[in-house]
Structure 1
Amino acid sequence: MKNLSELPNIGNAVANQLKQVGILDEDDLKSIGAEQAWLKIQQIDKTACINKLYALEGAILGIKKNFVAKRKKRSIKRIL
């Protein structure tokens, strides 16, 4: 289990936002999923954009957000 800031795409600011919404570590993020984590962040940060959602998905997968598969990105866009 990694600290949030050790995950790809997760800097201190996003890690702090995740902690504010009750997501405290890698396991919490993986169990809730990127979409639900992003929706929780949006409740405290109305400027949270789709790029943050891609970053969260990449963090769960252990990759940079640019490498999230296009098919997954299209699937993610459908929740918006």
Structure 2
Amino acid sequence: MPNIGKEGSKKLIAAGINTPEELTKIGSKEAFIRIKSIDDTACFSMLQALEGAIRGIRWHHLPEPIKKDLKIFFDSLK
């Protein structure tokens, strides 16, 4: 999956998400909540990377409405 390197994979596995299918099934927001619960340093870029991975694109290419939705979600977690 794009955007998911070694460190991202480790974080996903530590959060109980072991396959791309599992990530796709639970979605980027739930995956981010799980990662954030074990890694306080998880940031907005991580959330975007998860969404991009699910969509099969680099997170830089996410459509603006999706980025805005993710930002609202991210800010709601603070």
Tell me the TM-score normalised to structure 1 length: 0.89
Q: How many angstroms does 1:27 deviate by?
A: 0.5
Offset at residue 77 of structure 1 (A): 1.2
Aligned positions of 1:1-80 closer than 5 A: 7-80=1-74
Which amino acid is 1:56 matched to?
L
Please give the alpha-carbon distance, in whole angstroms, between the structure 2 residues aligned to 1:79 and 1:64.
20
Question: More helix by proportion, 1 or 2?
Answer: 2
SS in 1 for 2:11: helix
**Amino acid in the other structure paired with 1:28:** E
Q: Distance in 1 between the 2:42 and 2:31 partners?
A: 11
- Partners of 1:35 and 1:11 in 2: how far apart? 18
User: SS in structure 1 opposite 2:22?
Assistant: helix
Aligned structure 1 segments of 4 or more residues deviating by more than 4 angstroms:
none
TM-superposed CA distance for 1:21, in Å, is 1.0
Question: What SS does structure 1 have at the residue aligned with 2:16?
Answer: coil
Structure-2-length-normalised TM-score: 0.91
Give the Cα separation in 2 of the matches to 1:41 and 1:11: 15
Matched-pair identity in %: 38
1:75 counterpart letter in structure 2: D
Distance 1:54 1:32 in 2: 15
Q: Note the residue ranges of structure 2 that are not aligned, 5 or more in a row.
A: none
Structure 2 letter corresponding to 1:41: I
Unaligned runs of 5+ in 1: 1-6
